[in-house]
Structure 1
Amino acid sequence: MARIGIATRLGLLLAAFGVLAVVLTGYYTYLNGSQRLRLAAERDLLTATQVLGRSLEISLGKVARDVGVLARLPDAVRALGAEDTPDAQAARDGLAESFAAMMASYPSYARIRLIGGADHGLEQVRVDRLGSGTVRLTGLALQEKGHAPYVFETLRRGPGQVYLSDIGLNREDDAPTVAGQPILRVASPVIDGDGVVLGVAVITLDLQRYFGQLHQDLPASYRVYLANHRGDFLVHPDPAQTFGFEHGRPLLVQQTYPPVAELIEGRRGSVVVTPDSGNGDGEAVAFVRLPFGDVDDGRFLVLGLSQPLDEVLALSTSQRQSTLELVLLFSLLAVGISALVARAVTGPVNTMANAVMAISRGEKAGVLPVHRQDELGVLARSVAHMQQQIASQLDELEHRRSELDHLAHHDSLTGLPNRRMFQIYLEAAITRARRSGKPFALLFVDLDHFKEINDERGHAVGDEVLRAVANRLRAHVRADDTVARLGGDEFTVLEENLEGPEDAALVAAKLHDCFLEPFQIDGKPTMIGASIGVSLYPTHGEEATDLLSNADNAMYHAKLEGRNSFRVYAEGAGE
């Protein structure tokens, strides 16, 4: 019987070891890389959900500010006077026009009302959305709403306080536009100069339209979920799963996604659910807990954003295929090299194995014999190719993460900083102004009749208008000033390092003048007006919320005074 030589035995041993090392290394590399990619994708999904939640909080805050502004209007107090005088009727007429103008600017506002505290809560002014327009109801169409929680609960509140109703289906049969649809009512008390609560101002928010607009800004594959503090679904991709409590069959988010119970119980603020952690629908879902209503009433919302699992694991799937191909190639090369020259390849094989292990740990491979024309050269080039692929995949992941971060802080249409980034800039400007002692101006710019442009010439032209306005605003401010888009047709401008308070009006006049020349929109000269409100630090506030609210208040009064003008905030003018 012929004896097997040491070279053969060593070759077989090296071949077996090489194949095993390649398989184990490839398997470890795949598991490690796949886990990292998956965790990164889940973090990105959670970040997107948190950004969406912040956007929802800001939007609800805007509604609260709007109803607060309406409740503080002088016409609201006059309209609720004890006697039905011509002055009271004129005040109601003025309020009706203001309500209609606000609803024209915000399509998700389904109804705005002024309800008196007397006469069983009789509606004094009511404007409803009807199709694409609005209608004012008068006379016998006005109803008594004193029994509704959003009336008697709001009447108990103090100046500037806001009441948020629970989110539910609209059961008022006199509201055809939102009959049976999910709504949210936001109310604030109307209080006269003596501190007497006269009534309430109420905005009814059409949540179906609101979330429809919100979903348009998300990728098509993303799905939105919303639940109340009990876990009842309020928004779900399948409408049949929502508002089960209205029909006596509660459908709870924690039943579908058990890990969400920790959010409901207040033990966590966010959670990501995947098929191996309680979700069998082939999707990854990130949930965050959002504050809602008064701090002490225990209410909150649970917002969720889902993404198909195959998208979350897309990079991991690509890596698995690449790793499998490389493992097969490495195994074949290991067997061939070991069979030819066992002793000669011992050193180079170890070099290759060490290189693969270094790559699996995320380190750079050492010097590889990539210029050799034999199998060792092929193996070395394969290792280098694997390193390039892994580096490319990680670079792509980092690029996507950077894009998500940019989208979280910038408006996708105009490229300007969005509301979240502007808040950061505004806080930084306040800090600098406190150190330097120099004032700065905050300008709130709202386009006039923008909705008519959208309706008559289409949303594509409306988008072109917004981009053109953004470009002109940037062209008429200094390089170190900040222009931002808060949303819709609302822009803000931050002008720092002013020499004195009188410069605020000069800045506003400069920006107002830039709208006097027509814009070239869709190949046609188009005049676009803008109403501008100005607040000055520290004269009109030392906090970001006060400055923004006062600038918004001044802009609102510029619109009431005829639009296409500017107004510097005056203490008491918005009361």
Structure 2
Amino acid sequence: MKYGIAFKLGCLLALFGILVTGLTGYYSYNSSRSMLLKAAERDLLTAAQVLGRNLGSSLESIARDTRLLAGAPQALQLPGSTDQELREEVESELAQLFRAMLQVHPEYVQIRLISASGHGLEQVRVDRDDEELIAVRGADLQEKGHYPYVFDALRLQPGEVRLSPIVINHERGAHSGLGQPTLHVSTPVADSSGKVFALIVINIDLDRLFSQLQSDLPAQYKVYLSNRWGDLLIHPDKRRTFGFDQGRRLFLQEEFPDASQLITNEKHENLVARSVEQAQQDRQVAAFVRVQANVQSKERFVILGLAQPQSYVLAEASRLGLRIAQVVLLFSLLALFTAFIASRALTRPLKSMTQAVQQFSRERRVSDLPPRRDELGVLARSFREMQEEILTHLQELTESRSALEHLARHDPLTGLPNRRVFFERLEHALANSRRSGKQLAVLFVDLDHFKQLNDNLGHSLGDHVLQAVAHLLRSATRESDTVARLGGDEFVILFEVVEDPQHIVTILDKLHDRFQLSMLIDGHEVKVQASMGVSLFPRDGDDIEALVQQADRAMYAAKNAGRNTYAFNLSDTPS
């Protein structure tokens, strides 16, 4: 039996149609996989960089708290307190200050004042024991002079801060810190002559610190942390962490070989890596960044990483692959049916579709194909829907990156700028004021008896109170002013340009009057009052630390004056 040319041409065109459709589907599927993987890598790297910046900001904040405690008046009074009763009173006040700091920072598990003499005897010590804060006294105070965080820190100059290597805490009687990953932050305390007589040491619970930092990350993201040698400190499987504490060493570079570049080559700041699992579905896609220590530390840097299963990233590609396979099958059947009738008509739409898919892969732009009402039109619309779905997912991933950036710079409860943004704006405003010679002001606001309100009415209503106070502060200030939440019930306002200091007094009076009004929150009539303190540039200080400290002192002066008032001395204000 002889076959005519029409049959052969039809078969050839049908085969060609099936081949083109199959190749197009395969190319689209691979392109989709590649784009999704690259998008996931970019998101992981962005999230890791944000988390790294947040970790750096947290360490800087801890260092600032350590310096703040070292400069506390109660600590500086100790060398001159020869009277035992007076000394005990000063130590009691210092313990209360430590307790307040531990209440504000749940990641702090222990704060101590350690003497430079007496083999490093602890003088004042407050520990966290689950939810309870314990002031350790008398015979329970220990000698710590043989620990590096003591004798190394004693070599520092006043104001310098030392970060210890991250280790498991084996110190006797450490309460909640015992057996937990910990970081010691210490700084010298010097008297008026500059002689170091003691240390302030803060113990940080590493697990709780990272729980706070990663609370806003997607659930599928897993956190990795290693020291500068690659020893695993944080890992999804806790059994693989702190191997050196158990007589064995488990390294990050054994699981992610590419991560060794961050350890051995200081030119690399970040990279994307794959884990070494044999099964494709078990592999991890990860991004790592090097986080530098900005204070005195033998660690110099740590390696921080985020990972997620490759199977999770490619799950969407599998669904797209199924749709592509369906489209390919449909077109193949249509090609077999129509190839014998319209062989020439088949080549043009197939070519257009192939070019459209290639253009989408290169430029991520959906091209318009000529409208058709036949099966090829169905195929073209299916490709368009597939491309639009890919673009939608890419857009969602981009929005997730933006959301992570926003969370890194704003307080999640009130929506106000956070501590990091406030200090950035204050630094910028100070630079402008130095150039222009104009004044600026910092207003520190602390709610009175907020802890009592929280305990009596519940944390949920307390959160609503904080949101209402944030709205009150925004409504009483100008758009050019920065209202930020530092944490807890502490707020701060930056007035970038102060033409007349009397204007600040007017705002203070307005805020004071508004705080006298009751707030209706969740059906409760709540009386919220605040103590406020103001510092003025350049009168009260020429740098960030001085201005914030003076505003904080003014706020405490208002509290000492009976609360529900403000402190701002205009007598020395330039006219």
SS in 2 for 1:416: coil
**Could you tell me which residue of structure 2 aligns to residue 573 of structure 1?**
none
**CA distance in structure 2 between the partners assigned to 1:246 and 1:349 by the alignment:** 64
Residue equivalent to 1:413 = 413
1:26 aligns with 2:28: no
Cα distance, 1:296 vs structure 2: 7.4
The SS at the match of 2:80 is coil
Q: Which moved more, 1:396-405 or 1:36-45?
A: 396-405
Distance in 1 of aligned mates of 2:297 and 2:126:
32
Kindly state the Cα deviation for residue 509 of structure 1 after the two structures are TM-superposed: 4.8
1:328 aligns with 2:329: yes
- Please give the residue correspondences for 1:374-453 in structure 2 after superposition, counting only pairs within 5 Å: 374-430=374-430, 432-434=432-434, 436-453=436-453
Shift of 1:102: 1.6
Deviation at 1:232, TM superposition (A): 1.9
Q: Are residues 1:151 and 2:150 paired?
A: yes
Displacement of 1:354 in angstroms is 3.7
CA distance in structure 1 between the partners assigned to 2:487 and 2:68 by the alignment = 19
Q: Deviations over 1:207-247 (max 9, x none)?
A: 23333334433333332222222222222233222222122
Secondary structure of the 1:69 match is helix
Sort the Cα spacing of 1:417 and 1:10 in 2 relative to 1 into closer, same or farther, 3 A.
farther
The answer (yes or no) to whether the contact 2:529–2:564 under 8 Å persists in 1 is yes
CA contact (8 A) 1:553 1:569 kept: no
Structure 2 Cα separation of the partners of residues 364 and 186 of structure 1: 52
Equivalent residue, structure 1, for 2:122: 123
Residue 197 (structure 1) aligned with residue 196 (structure 2): yes
Letter of the 1:232 counterpart: D
Distance across 1 between alignment mates of 2:374 and 2:83: 101
Q: Which residue of 1 aligns with 2:304?
A: 303
CA distance in 2, matches of 1:179, 1:509: 49
Write the distance in 1 (CA, Å) between the matches of 2:204 and 2:368. 65
Q: Secondary structure at the match of 1:339?
A: coil
Q: Tell me the SS of whatever aligns to 1:340.
A: coil
1:209-288 aligned within 5 A: 209-267=208-266, 268-275=268-275, 281-288=282-289
TM-score scaled by length of structure 1: 0.88
More deviation in 217-226 or 502-511? Answer: 502-511
Letter in 1 for 2:307: S
Structure 1 CA distance for aligned equivalents of residues 248 and 85 of structure 2: 52
Q: Give the drift of 1:110.
A: 1.8
The verdict on how the C-alpha distance between 1:309 and 1:461 changes in structure 2, with shifts beyond 3 A counting, is: farther
8 A contact 2:276–2:283 mirrored in 1: no
Instruction: Give runs of aligned pairs for residues 500-515 of structure 1, distance below 5 A.
Output: 500-515=500-515
1:2 Cα deviation after fit: 3.7
Distance 2:108 2:373 in 1: 73
Which residues of 2 match residues 40-59 of structure 1 at below 5 A? 40-59=39-58
Counterpart of 2:76, as a letter, is V
Alignment of 1:417-496 (within 5 A): 417-430=417-430, 432-434=432-434, 436-496=436-496
- For the Cα contact (< 8 Å) 2:119–2:144, is it kept in 1? yes
Structure 2 counterpart of 1:129, which letter? R
Q: Deviations over 1:286-338 (max 9, x none)?
A: 22211236467453222222223333334333332333333333333333332
2:477, 2:324 → 1: CA distance? 53
Q: Which one-letter code corresponds to 2:54 in the other structure?
A: S
- Following superposition, the deviation at residue 128 of structure 1 comes to 2.2
Deviates more, 1:18-27 or 1:352-361: 352-361
Q: State the distance in 2 between where 1:59 and 1:567 align.
A: 30
Equivalent position of 1:170 in the other structure: 169
SS in 1 for 2:170: coil
- Over aligned residue pairs, what C-alpha RMSD do you find? 3.2
1:317-365 superposed Cα distances (whole Å, 9 cap, x missing partner): 3332333333333333333332222234444444444444433433656
Q: Which moved more, 1:431-440 or 1:335-344?
A: 431-440
Distance 2:55 2:364 in 1: 42
Q: How big is each residue's C-alpha offset from its partner over 1:44-63, in whole Å with a ceiling of 9 and x where there is no partner?
A: 11111111121121112111
Residue 133, structure 1, aligned to residue 132, structure 2? yes
Letter in 2 for 1:186: V
Closer, same or farther: CA 101–15 of 1 in aligned 2, 3 Å: same
Give the direction of change, closer, same or farther, for the CA distance of 1:485–1:18 in structure 2 (3 Å limit).
Answer: farther
d(CA) in 2 for partners of 1:97 and 1:363?
60
Deviation at 1:468, TM superposition (A): 2.2
Structure 2 SS opposite 1:94: helix
1:77-121 deviation per Cα after TM superposition (whole angstroms, max 9, x unaligned): 221337344443332222122122222222222222222222222
Please give the alpha-carbon distance, in whole angstroms, between the structure 2 residues aligned to 1:104 and 1:93: 16
CA contact (8 A) 1:182 1:208 kept: yes
Q: Once structures 1 and 2 are overlaid, which stretch shifts more, 495-504 or 25-34? A: 495-504
Is 1:14–1:342's contact at 8 Å kept on the other side of the alignment? yes
C-alpha distance in 2 between matches for 1:461 and 1:317: 46
The 1:300–1:357 alpha-carbon spacing in structure 2 relative to 1, beyond 3 Å, is closer
Asked whether 1:527 is paired with 2:516, we answer: no
Which one-letter code corresponds to 1:536 in the other structure? L
* 1:114–1:126 contact (8 Å) kept in structure 2: yes
What secondary structure, in the 3-state scheme, does the structure 1 residue paired with 2:103 have?
Answer: helix
Q: Measure, in 2, the Cα distance between the counterparts of 1:56 and 1:150.
A: 21
Q: Deviations over 1:347-395 (max 9, x none)?
A: 444444444443343365665342x433343344334434433443333
Q: Greater shift after overlay, 125-134 or 526-535?
A: 526-535
**SS class of match (1:373):** coil
Residue equivalent to 1:104: 103
Q: Which runs of 5+ in 1 are unaligned?
A: 571-575
CA–CA distance in structure 1, aligned partners of residues 232 and 188 of structure 2? 30
CA distance in 2, matches of 1:397, 1:323: 22
Task: Compute the displacement of 1:164 (Å).
Answer: 1.7
Query: Could you tell me how far 1:72 is from its partner in structure 2?
Result: 1.1
SS at structure 1 position matched to 2:42: helix
Moved more, 11-20 or 550-559: 550-559
Deviation at 1:41, TM superposition (A): 1.1
CA distance in 1, matches of 2:316, 2:546: 46
Alpha carbons 2:159, 2:188 under 8 Å: kept: yes
Q: Which amino acid aligns with 1:477?
A: T
Deviation per residue, 1:128-176 (Å, 9 max, x gap): 2234232323332223222222222222211211122222122221222
Amino acid at match of 1:397: L
Q: Supply the distance in 1 between the matched residues of 2:320 and 2:426 (Cα, whole angstroms).
A: 43
Aligned mates of 2:496, 2:561 — CA distance in 1: 28
262-271 or 34-43, which deviates more: 262-271
Residue 446 (structure 1) shift: 4.0
- Single out whichever of 501-510 and 238-247 deviates more from structure 2: 501-510
Q: Percent identity?
A: 48
Task: For residue 191 of structure 1, report the CA deviation from its aligned partner.
Answer: 1.0
Deviation at residue 557 of structure 1 after TM alignment: 6.2
Distance in 2 (alpha carbons) for counterparts of 1:358 and 1:197? 69
Change over 3 Å in CA distance of 1:241–1:43 after alignment to 2: same
Range 556-565 or range 234-243, more displaced: 556-565
**C-alpha displacement at 1:561, in angstroms?**
6.5
Amino acid paired to 1:135: I
Q: Is the 8 A contact 2:54 2:408 kept in 1?
A: no
**Cα separation, 1, equivalents of 2:569 and 2:317:** 55
Distance 1:388 1:271, change over 3 A: closer
Question: Retained in 2: the 8 A contact 1:181–1:206?
Answer: yes
Following the alignment from structure 1 to structure 2, what is the Cα–Cα distance between the partners of residues 150 and 358?
Answer: 60
Instruction: Provide the residue aligned with 2:342 in structure 1.
Output: 341
Q: Distance in 2 between matches of 1:205 and 1:348?
A: 65
SS in 2 for 1:216: coil
Give secondary structure in 1 for the equivalent of 2:339.
Answer: helix
Inter-CA distance 533–251: structure 2 relative to 1 (3 Å threshold): farther
Do the aligned residues in 1 keep the contact of 2:160 with 2:296 (CA within 8 Å)? no
